[in-house]
Amino acid sequence: MAKEISISQCMIVKNEEKNIRRALSWAKEIVQEQVVVDTGSTDRTVEIAESMGAKIFYFEWCDDFSAAKNYAIEQATGDWIAFLDADEYFTPEDARKLPEVIRTAEKNFSQNGTPDVIRATWAQLNDEGKVFAVSEQDRIFRNKKDVRYRKPIHEVLASTALQTAEKVLEKGLHKAEPPQINTALMTWFTAASSGRTGSPEQYKEKAYALYERYCKAGYSYPDIEFGMACYLQKLGDTDGVVLFFEAALQKLEYYKGVDTLKMAGRLDHIYAYLALYYSEKKDAQKSVYYCTLSLRVDKYQETPLSCLLELLKDDRNTEAAQAYAFLGKIYDIDSLKDKLFILKLAIKTGYKELEEFIRAGMSEEEIKELWSDNCQSWAKKREALKEAYPNISIRNRTDMNFLSLLNELRDMDAEKLYEKALIRGLADMLKEHHKSIEAFYEKLADYRSKQCLYGLLEMWLRKESRIISMARENGLEFWDMDVIPTAEGMTCADIGEHQAECANGFLYTYDDTYKKIYFFTQEGAEGEELEKSFSGCRDVSFINTELADLELDKAVEEPLDLIRMDVSAGLLELLAGCRGHIEKKQPKLAVCIDSDCNHLWQVPKLLKEWNPNYRFYLRYYGEKPIPDRIVLFAV
């Protein structure tokens, strides 16, 4: 005997008296209930629906289609839901087939009750009843708490990240590519620990089960152990965190892949955590080892240095001179900045012998500079910098530090500058263009951007990576939702390298809400991979061309809303080929500017000349001290 299929028909309506009768008629024979949610009708819509036996509910309109539709779903009791608009319907023949289609789907995907959604062909008719457009829509779906609409307009049906990731891991382990599997499990760890879907503690058993499935399937990616450790850290499971952090580090040692690792940007955190753990366990040898590793990643961390000083202080066999010599392997003890940092932490941890040793070794000039630095107030420094840089508002430490460094760049003798700088030629170029750097800082629209620029200068001029490591973005490259919150209805152009990876990130961030995408590719493996990956997507054009010859104004005549560029040469020429779009439409721009540091100030200056309305944002996604994965946004 065929399984009984329980279907609820749902819809939201307002002033649909012309359509409501047909909208309810097509489903009468196959559904168990019809749920109509009215959002403020002033005609006979509700009256007609009631007369046809529909269940009527009322929802106060709040400019959010998803909220109204999700309210309707909450009223449904069927196992499956058919959610069509009032002007949509199935033909009688297709309506009668629907229960059997659902039965077949459940039979073919019986394990865990998948699928959640049945996608149907959707045809639009003109006034004469003729088809003028055809696409696919998600109108039939399982009645589950995690399947809901999202976005206030152009609403889309979606599962939660947690559930979606679980499906990939439970059903796609031997079908999906390793990067997708890795992303799914990392997404699951993040969602499970977020607290947005319940207490993180409730997922512990599931976390271990998914991790075991992942390992048994033969995958090996250091970020997974890192993700598991971060999840367990939310639970306060210290021993579990240590176990997985150390497993991640062991895998990292032998990792030969090319994918970017999240844990690479958090090594200081991992080492510091392990250092404190072993300190509490009275394992001084391991604690010193991890303190040292953490400080080699970022030597200006107070926590691991404090831990290290406590260990050195408590070791009766280590004198202050020996401790200072050991610290000299991490710090530049000829640098006043490094010396004062160690001194500050020695005082804080009560390491009197080391404090006295450092003070005794300071020259009169250093003591004088220390005294001068301590006596000069914030207000005095601020006033001096305001006078030197009247166009920049000084509101916080980032502004102060940036302008102080700019002062140093401007005034310091070249030979002295070379002593600290990463590369002589880079220092020369930055010194030559210090006014352009100042102007660029002034144009940046948020402090994430200003911190990024300041961090880059610290790295290039002082070999100091602490600030840029703090400013480094861990999200998807190019798709910063604070800068580009939506791609809804946009016509986009994508030019250059890393297209498949970036396009995947684009779809992950914005779904398929775009209007159209033009991919300008060069012949080769990457272009073939892109076309293979996205050949099934709607409204996507792949155009093989030599980028050096590309003029976007001629290649795409319709207005563009978003342009992404990632090229290793010819960036300014490519931008010049977009000038018409930039002047007329002001498309959002996401531009990688790795190839030449001059682009940091050249590109914004050029764009401001063409369209003075642009606002600029700067993000850093790289891991190298040489300019790498710096993205400029203009919106």
Same fold, 162-260 and 268-375: yes
User: Is the confidence at residue 458, as pLDDT, over 80?
Assistant: yes
Architecture of domain 491-634: 3-Layer(aba) Sandwich (3.40)
Mean pLDDT score, 138-155: 80
Instruction: Answer for the pair 164, 147: CB distance below 8 angstroms, yes or no.
Output: no
Q: How far is 351 from 314, CA to CA, in rounded Å? A: 9
**CATH architecture for residues 7-159:** Alpha-Beta Complex (3.90)
**What is residue 325's predicted lDDT score, i.e. its pLDDT?**
94
pLDDT tens-digit series, residues 590-618: 999 876 788 888 999 999 999 999 999 99
Give yes or no for a contact between 548 and 573, defined as CB atoms under 8 angstroms apart: yes
Positive or negative: CA dihedral 415, 419, 421, 425: positive
Kindly tell me if the per-residue pLDDT of 337 is higher than 80. yes
Model pTM score = 0.49
How does residue 625 score in pLDDT terms, banded at 50, 70 and 90?
Answer: low
Tens digit of each residue's pLDDT (9 = 90 or more) over 480-534: 888 998 998 999 999 988 888 888 888 888 888 889 999 988 766 466 667 666 6
Q: How confident is the model at residue 70 (pLDDT cuts 50, 70, 90)?
A: very high
**Coil, strand or helix: which one is 584?**
helix
Specify the range with the lowest mean pLDDT, choosing from 150-159, 422-431, 567-576. 150-159
Q: How many CA atoms lie within 13 A of 164 on its CB side?
A: 16
pLDDT at 307 over 70: yes
**H/E segment holding residue 491:** strand 491-496
Percent of the chain's residues with pLDDT above 70: 87
Confirm or reject CATH 1.10.287 for domain 268-375, answering yes or no.
Answer: no
**pLDDT higher than 80, residue 544:** yes
Structure confidence by residue, pLDDT tens digits, 247-266 = 999 999 888 776 668 788 78
Domain definitions of the chain by residue range: 7-159, 162-260, 268-375, 378-471, 491-634
156, 513 contact by CB (below 8 A): yes
Yes or no: is domain 162-260 CATH 1.25.40?
Answer: yes
CA distance 583 to 587: 9
Count the Cβ atoms, other than its own, within 10 Å of residue 350. Answer: 11
The rounded distance, in Å, linking the Cα atoms of 473 and 623 is 10
Separation in Å, CA 481 to CA 478, 486, 499, 506: 9, 7, 19, 11
Quote the longest CA-to-CA distance of the chain: 97
The DSSP output letter for 549 is G
Taking 90 as the threshold, does the pLDDT of residue 55 lie above it? yes
Handedness of CA 583, 589, 591, 597 (dihedral sign): positive
Which among 566, 573, 617 has a CA at the least distance from the CA of 594? 566
What is the structure's pLDDT at 373? 52
Distance, in Å, from the CA atom of 294 to the CA atom of 303, rounded to the nearest integer, reads 10
Distance CA 584, CA 63 (A): 31
Bridge partners of 175? none
Q: Are 504 and 527 in contact (CB under 8 A)?
A: no
Q: How far apart are the first and last CA of the chain?
A: 61
* Token pair listed for 635: 């919106």
**pLDDT, averaged across the chain:** 85
Angle of helix 434-443 versus helix 447-462 axis, rounded to 10: 160
